[in-house]
Amino acid sequence: EDQVTQSPEALRLQEGESSSLNCSYTVSGLRGLFWYRQDPGKGPEFLFTLYSAGEEKEKERLKATLTKKESFLHITAPKPEDSATYLCAPKRDTDKLIFGTGTRLQVFP
């Protein structure tokens, strides 16, 4: 059975304090892994797609990496506006996304 686990469930950071979020998965027929950001009451906002182990992608203060069993979202020198829930979603060969429960990030000034 497909499983996606995100850790930690919640993370509180001081502004400028770098950290990493983890997404571990067991998904058969993996065809990519997506990262989204979601603000309260809104739909998920697309951040990255990673297709193969060893791949890395960056966007502003965020960098996503992928191995065969997990993905990391590194946040460098975060700002309060980075506060949100971050969702990872492996994609199977059937095209549907399998979401984790997310990491709720709070960045304090």
Partner 1 sequence: DTGVSQDPRHKITKRGQNVTFRCDPISEHNRLYWYRQTLGQGPEFLTYFQNEAQLEKSRLLSDRFSAERPKGSFSTLEIQRTEQGDSAMYLCASSLDIYEQYFGPGTRLTVT
Q: Please report, as ranges, the residues that interact with partner 1 according to CB under 8 A.
A: 4, 31, 34, 36, 41-46, 49, 87, 89, 94-102
The closest of 11, 10, 13 to 79, measured between CA atoms, is 13
* Cα–Cα dist 45/35, whole Å: 9
Q: How far is the CB of 16 from partner 1 (least distance, A)?
A: 28
We find the least distance from the C-beta atom of residue 7 to partner 1, in angstroms, to be 14
Rounded Cα distance between 41 and 62, Å, is 22
Cβ-based nearer residue to partner 1, 13 or 87: 87
Nearest residue to 87 via CA among 55, 46, 59:
46
Closer residue to partner 1 (CB): 65 or 91? 91
Least distance in angstroms from the C-beta of 49 to partner 1: 6
Q: Which two tokens stand for residue 68?
A: 């065969």
Nearer to partner 1, 31 or 69 (CB): 31
The DSSP 8-state label assigned to residue 91 in this structure reads B
